[in-house]
Structure 1
Amino acid sequence: MTGAGGADADEGADGLMEPPAAAEKNGTVKLKVLEEDEEQTKFTGLNKEELLRVAGSPGWVRTRWALLLVFWIGWLGMLVGAVLIILRAPVCRELPPTDWWNEGPLLQIRNLQAFMMMMTPSLSLSGLEQKVSTLSGLKLKGLVIGPIHAAPADDPMNLEFEEISPEFGNLEQFKRLLQTAHRKGETRSPWCSTELLNRFTMKLLMRRISMCLQSALVFWLSEGVDGIQLPGVEDLARMVPSLWTDIRAIIQNGTDKVLIGVTETSSAETVSDVLSSTGVDLLLSGVLSASDQTERAHSVQLLYSNHSQTKLAWSLEDLSRDLVKVNQLLLMTLPGTPVFIGGDGIGLKDDVRQTKLRQTLFKEMVLRKRSKCHAVFPLRLQGERGERSFFQSISELRGKERSLLFGDFSLLFNSSSSLAYLRVWDQSTRFLAAFNWAAEEVELQLSGAGLPHHAAVVRSTNTSALPEESSVDLRKLRLGPGQAALVRFPHDG
């Protein structure tokens, strides 16, 4: 029993020990315990105290100071570099003081009725008011109108400076014209009195006219005109100096009113003396009337050398239609204020020519087949538009380019029939104007310091020969008869 019981007991014991053996073989339980231990020991970062302790270590302190030093050295280096660039850069030239009459061309309307016939059936001031928008679109800065005051023929004692002649309109129409011009923001309207004072040399007449004239100046300036034009200023300043002093005080009293003088002389030396002695803001003369271009170049050079170009004014009365564009380019590129006389010089006759051309072509359409006229009509009209559009393009260009507005003038070449000069301002684009008044082609060989070999055509009176934006060789610049061109090239730095 005992042995059997012992065996049974051993077997029972073995039977009771099987579950622990089975538990030891259960690897899942052991693996779970191991995974939990690993998760408990995973790195989760440093807390605040640990971070402060690490950041305060000598290694990190030295690193931070090194990075901070590199940052400030780089910042100071960039600052020093910027200062050096500014100091070494060429200083921009200070713009000269200018007035509104230096910023664009002026249009002088001597014969109001003849001028209005070009633009509108109305021959009065009201008709001119309707065309202010058209004139402003041509970038004109001022209209010099007159004389339009009442002036009885051969009766100087009864001149009415403060009354408008009924054939031109009335004072209310003139006021509306001024308001319209000022509202456009571009066009000013100086009042013009011509052929009044330079015809009278007697002291009595001078005294009588001086009293009326001073009152008239105050009256018209109070009505809103932007300036006065007077002829024979050298005679007036010499014969009645006190009157001339009063006239200048009335007009040039610190306001933006312009005093325009007119002299009949064409001598550059005399014009220079008159400009110095009278003190007018602008002086119109006949210095450009010379047909010889050498004399013309001498006149321009003399006046430019002795006076500020803000005091110079240029005008031409050459009505040759073949030279309209050439004259436009000449006046617009000379140093000073261009003054165009009448509507012919700015292409306002285009409308009249267009109307007449349409009438002629309409008659041709009646006499010929309609198809043939349709082929001719657009081409002929297109050829007639050039003068006004050319003037407008030159006027817009002059208003945008500093070299043309108040740039330095340098004469490059001149002969009896050819002329070339350069306009330069600081670092702006340079412009070179070349003209040929001869009856045959001419080749200009232009060279010198600062002149490149090639330049781009900006404006040309003959786009067939010299297309705009084409490149030309300044050493062999060819101009056809009666042709002019304006070319440009950049500042070479």
Structure 2
Amino acid sequence: MPLNLGDTGYGSVAGPGLSSSGAAGSAETAALLVPELEEDEGEREQEWRPMSKEELEEIAGGPGWRRLRCYLVVLFWLAWLAMLATAVAIIFTSPRPVATPLSWWRKSLFFQLQPDLFTGTPTGSSEGVDALCDQLSYLKSLGISALILRGLFDPSNATDSGERSGTLTQVQHLLGESDEAGLKVVLDVCDVQLFGAREGPETQDGWDATQNALRFWLGQGVAGFVICDTDGAHSEKSLLLWRGVLEEFSKEDEERIVVVKQMRERLPPLRVSSQQVNGTLVDVVLRSVLPASPRPLSAGQVAQAIETHLQAPEDTWLGWMVGEEGPHDLRKLLLVLLMTLPGTPVVQYDQLYPAQGGNGSESSEDKFKSRHSTVALFSSLSHNRAREEALVFGSFTFLPFNATLSSATSSPPLLAFLRSWGCVHFLVLLNAGSEPHSLDPAWAPHLPQAGVFVAGTAGDRLGAVSLDALVLRPREAVVVKLFEPGSYS
């Protein structure tokens, strides 16, 4: 049977470019690569070649691309303005602490001293006052901004103006030097009949003598007076007279103040209407942290007194001082407490310059090192208080520990409180006991766990710290600035 049966016969293959009759060739003789296909691929490759710069510029300059670029630019600026408006709205709507302007005494650090104790010379001698004047710049460098001077007046010869007092010239010289050094001076006249009390404070002659004495010393540049709540001047009638005279000499940022040192367990109330001298007769109430005691206080009694004050917040603006002398090894701990409590700290001379160490066996070198470390701690605390708003304006929160932690040993419990201002928190830890204390992780879960040491009684606490790993040594106090992980506040 013939294989080729015609145009449509079995086995015939009509390839591309072949006629239906198969005259041009059969499938067996057709070329595998058709030249026409190769030419098409070459044209396709030429069609997708990269565009030249001139071609791109010609196309980009078209109306469609110009319109698209305008839309993108407008969209960018609208998005940028929307983000800026959102940020401004967040800033203005977020709650922020507002620093209330404080009077100078509320943000000052007071240093109480007796010139004769400070200089080692009798108060009435000019050498003693001159020696104190030489130290004013040094005291200013420590962060002290006001002095409370005691022992300048002898009750036996103090008069209404002090003109016949042997210390008048020295006091005037000291006031002038203090003003040049930028230090304010407050005179402590507790238990001193300085204001003509011999005529009787309730008589007209007594009132006249009081006003003359106040005007005399205020004219010399005295910033205020300290009286005791046991003095005859601590009465509504007397303080109203004082307030009227002080307002005559008060100027902006130079207000003259009255400080009442609380000697009794409770301060007698002074009721005065709001129409009288802005409703206040006393600017600062100076209170002792430690209670009066005929015997030296133990560490447990000191811890109990501190805890009592920490648990009983006061509405009155307070000034704090140590008062009674506590154990020698708690002197630095009490210094940390004074400098971190809300209110006005009043540091006493013997806290920085004790007459003797804790025991008679201390060498002079050990005493010098102890004194140097105490002054360094005080300087660190004062400068941190000057630049950290939380230690001046910040709220106060007492942090009680778990009962199991405080009752585990007979040692006094660990005491702690928080000073907060916005997102800044300062944690103050006080261990007055003789055993080390660690922090319970469940003690304050809301607090940040990371922080950095600001100050400490040991002097060797530096750098970052985790509260979970912090162990307080016996008789140690530390100040830690807390921050959230990744925060640099």
User: TM (normalized to structure 1)?
Assistant: 0.69
Aligned partner of 2:480 in structure 1 is 487
Aligned partner of 1:264 in structure 2 is 263
User: Deviation at 1:491?
Assistant: 5.2
- Is contact 1:149-1:161 (8 Å) kept? no
User: Deviation at 1:424?
Assistant: 0.5
Q: Check if 1:96 corresponds to 2:100.
A: yes
Paired residue for 2:338, among 331, 334, 337? 331
User: Deviation at 1:418?
Assistant: 3.5
Change in CA separation of 1:295 and 1:152 when aligned onto 2, cut-off 3 Å: closer
Paired residue for 2:463, among 440, 464, 469? 469
Paired residue for 2:282, among 280, 292, 302? 280
- Is contact 1:118-1:349 (8 Å) kept? no
* 3-state DSSP of counterpart to 1:286: strand
Q: Percent identity?
A: 22
Aligned-partner Cα distance in 2 for 1:201–1:177? 26
User: Deviation at 1:202?
Assistant: 10
- Is contact 2:417-2:429 (8 Å) kept? yes
User: Deviation at 1:463?
Assistant: 4.2
- Is contact 1:265-1:285 (8 Å) kept? no
- Is contact 2:122-2:128 (8 Å) kept? no
Aligned partner of 2:120 in structure 1 is 117
User: Deviation at 1:103?
Assistant: 2.1
Aligned partner of 1:83 in structure 2 is 85
Q: Which region of structure 1 is more displaced relative to structure 2, 194-203 or 483-492?
A: 194-203
Residues 43-442 of structure 1 mapped to structure 2, 5 A cutoff: 66-89=68-91, 90-109=94-113, 111-117=114-120, 124-149=128-153, 151-152=155-156, 159-163=159-163, 165-166=165-166, 169-171=167-169, 173-185=170-182, 187-196=183-192, 204-207=200-203, 208-232=205-229, 236-238=233-235, 241-252=236-247, 255=251, 256-267=255-266, 270=267, 273=269, 279-289=281-291, 291=301, 293-304=303-314, 306-307=315-316, 311-319=317-325, 320-341=327-348, 343-345=349-351, 347-349=352-354, 381-413=368-400, 417-428=413-424, 430-442=425-437
- Is contact 1:103-1:141 (8 Å) kept? no
- Is contact 2:160-2:195 (8 Å) kept? no
User: Deviation at 1:425?
Assistant: 0.5
Aligned-partner Cα distance in 2 for 1:225–1:321? 34
User: Deviation at 1:438?
Assistant: 2.1
- Is contact 1:313-1:336 (8 Å) kept? yes
Aligned-partner Cα distance in 1 for 2:77–2:172? 64
Aligned-partner Cα distance in 2 for 1:151–1:439? 44
Aligned-partner Cα distance in 1 for 2:224–2:453? 37
Aligned-partner Cα distance in 2 for 1:127–1:201? 33
C-alpha distance after superposition, 1:281-337 (max 9, x if no partner)? 111123543835445333344343x23xxx211101343432221111000010111
Aligned-partner Cα distance in 1 for 2:484–2:175? 42
Read off the aligned partner of 1:124 and give its amino acid letter: G
Aligned-partner Cα distance in 2 for 1:136–1:214? 32
User: Deviation at 1:189?
Assistant: 1.0
User: Deviation at 1:63?
Assistant: 5.5
User: TM (normalized to structure 2)?
Assistant: 0.69
Aligned partner of 1:51 in structure 2 is none
User: Deviation at 1:263?
Assistant: 2.1
Aligned-partner Cα distance in 2 for 1:234–1:91? 46
User: Deviation at 1:445?
Assistant: 2.7
Structure 2 runs not aligned, ≥5 long: 1-57, 273-278, 293-300, 407-411
User: Deviation at 1:251?
Assistant: 1.9
- Is contact 2:195-2:213 (8 Å) kept? no
Aligned partner of 1:50 in structure 2 is none
User: Deviation at 1:113?
Assistant: 1.0
User: Deviation at 1:99?
Assistant: 1.7
Aligned-partner Cα distance in 2 for 1:260–1:215? 19
User: Deviation at 1:357?
Assistant: 12
Read off the aligned partner of 2:152 and give its amino acid letter: I
Structure 1 runs not aligned, ≥5 long: 1-54, 362-376
- Is contact 1:436-1:479 (8 Å) kept? yes
- Is contact 1:151-1:165 (8 Å) kept? no
Aligned partner of 1:45 in structure 2 is none
* 3-state DSSP of counterpart to 1:440: coil
User: Deviation at 1:455?
Assistant: 3.2
CA-based RMSD: 3.9
The structure showing larger relative contact order (alpha-carbon pairs under 8 Å, at least 6 residues apart) is 1
Aligned-partner Cα distance in 1 for 2:77–2:428? 49
User: Deviation at 1:65?
Assistant: 5.6
* 3-state DSSP of counterpart to 1:218: helix
Read off the aligned partner of 2:207 and give its amino acid letter: S
Structure number with the higher helix fraction is 1
- Is contact 1:227-1:257 (8 Å) kept? yes
Aligned partner of 2:37 in structure 1 is none
User: Deviation at 1:162?
Assistant: 3.1
- Is contact 2:153-2:192 (8 Å) kept? no
- Is contact 2:229-2:264 (8 Å) kept? no
Change in CA separation of 1:471 and 1:228 when aligned onto 2, cut-off 3 Å: same
User: Deviation at 1:459?
Assistant: 1.8
Change in CA separation of 1:198 and 1:441 when aligned onto 2, cut-off 3 Å: farther
